[in-house]
Amino acid sequence: GNSVTQMEGPVTLSEEAFLTINCTYTATGYPSLFWYVQYPGEGLQLLLKATKADDKGSNKGFEATYRKETTSFHLEKGSVQVSDSAVYFCALRGLNDYKLSFGAGTTVTVRA
Amino acid sequence: NAGVTQTPKFRILKIGQSMTLQCTQDMNHNYMYWYRQDPGMGLKLIYYSVGAGITDKGEVPNGYNVSRSTTEDFPLRLELAAPSQTSVYFCASSPRDRGRGETQYFGPGTRLLVL
């Protein structure tokens, strides 16, 4: 079945540091890939997505590239802010599948 | 638009009690979902619905029931609550799937504690 593995946290960074969160997946065919973010006390919201190989999703300074050859969708941001402190989830949706398969989530804390 | 709303925000149940978690969306989305989130784990799908009158089981349906009588509402019923159902429950909705990349919109969650 489909599965997502993302790097374990927690991750603690200083403001303006570079952030990368690794995400790899197992799926048949070409799934759609997503990063969702959960701010403290809130529900999940879509951060970015990519629906085919070599697509790059980007939003709010975050980027992730769909790499079919390495089955990866790593999340990166060049200069984080305190407001980026949140839990980040990598997820995939398989072809002809209704549900999202989520990774365990990575807690990121950015200190001023 | 309010998006996806859930009630209650927090509830404590005793073992064996029952309750209904409410979920409403005002985006006219066909698809709706219920997930649970346990500490250190990703979200697991409990049930989903592709339209009014149509529901199906997800990965972890045992101990839960759902119904979908309208497009807007998708309540989740817990019968005979157990400590293993202590979790945070999220409802989500999405438009009809056209290209596999449809975004799911999540509610703020219901935190449930079963003692």
Q: What is the per-residue pLDDT across B70-102, written as a single tens digit (0 to 9) for each?
A: 999 999 999 899 999 999 999 999 987 665 667
Work out the mean pLDDT of chain A and round it to a whole number.
93
pLDDT at A18 over 90: yes
For chain B, residues with pLDDT lower than 70 are 97-101
CA distance linking residue B48 with residue B68, whole number of Å: 10
Region A38-50: what's the mean pLDDT? 91
Region A41-46: what's the mean pLDDT? 88
Contact between residue B53 and residue B69 where contact means Cβ atoms under 8 Å apart: yes
Region A40-58: what's the mean pLDDT? 92
CA distance linking residue B100 with residue A51, whole number of Å: 7
Asked if A1 has any chain B CB less than 8 Å from its own CB, the reply is no
Contact between residue A92 and residue A32 where contact means Cβ atoms under 8 Å apart: yes
Compute CA B14 distance to the chain's CA centroid, rounded to the nearest angstrom: 20
What values do phi and psi take at B61, rounded to 5?
-85, -15
How far is the alpha carbon of B16 from chain A, nearest alpha carbon, in Å? 28
User: What are the tens digits of pLDDT across the range A57-112?
Assistant: 999 999 999 999 999 999 999 999 999 999 999 999 887 777 888 999 999 999 99
CA distance linking residue B113 with residue B11, whole number of Å: 6
Name chain A contacts of B44, Cβ cutoff 8 Å: 102
B48 and A103 in contact by Cβ < 8 A?
A: no
Tell me the percentage of chain A whose pLDDT exceeds 90. Answer: 77
Name chain B contacts of A44, Cβ cutoff 8 Å: 43, 90, 92, 106
Torsional class of B53: left (φ above 0), alpha (ψ -120 to 50), beta (otherwise): left
Number of other residues whose CB lies within 10 A of the CB of residue B84: 10
Is residue B61 reached through a cis peptide bond, with omega within 30 degrees of 0 on the bond before it?
Answer: no
Report A:62-101 residues touching B (Cβ under 8 A): 89, 91, 93, 95, 98-101
> Cβ neighbours of residue A56 under 8 Å, at least 6 residues apart?
A50, A63, A64, A65, A66
How far is the alpha carbon of A70 from chain B, nearest alpha carbon, in Å? 21
**Closest chain A CA to residue B39:** A104
| Burial of residue B42 (number of CB atoms within 10 Å: 0-12, 13-18, 19+) | buried
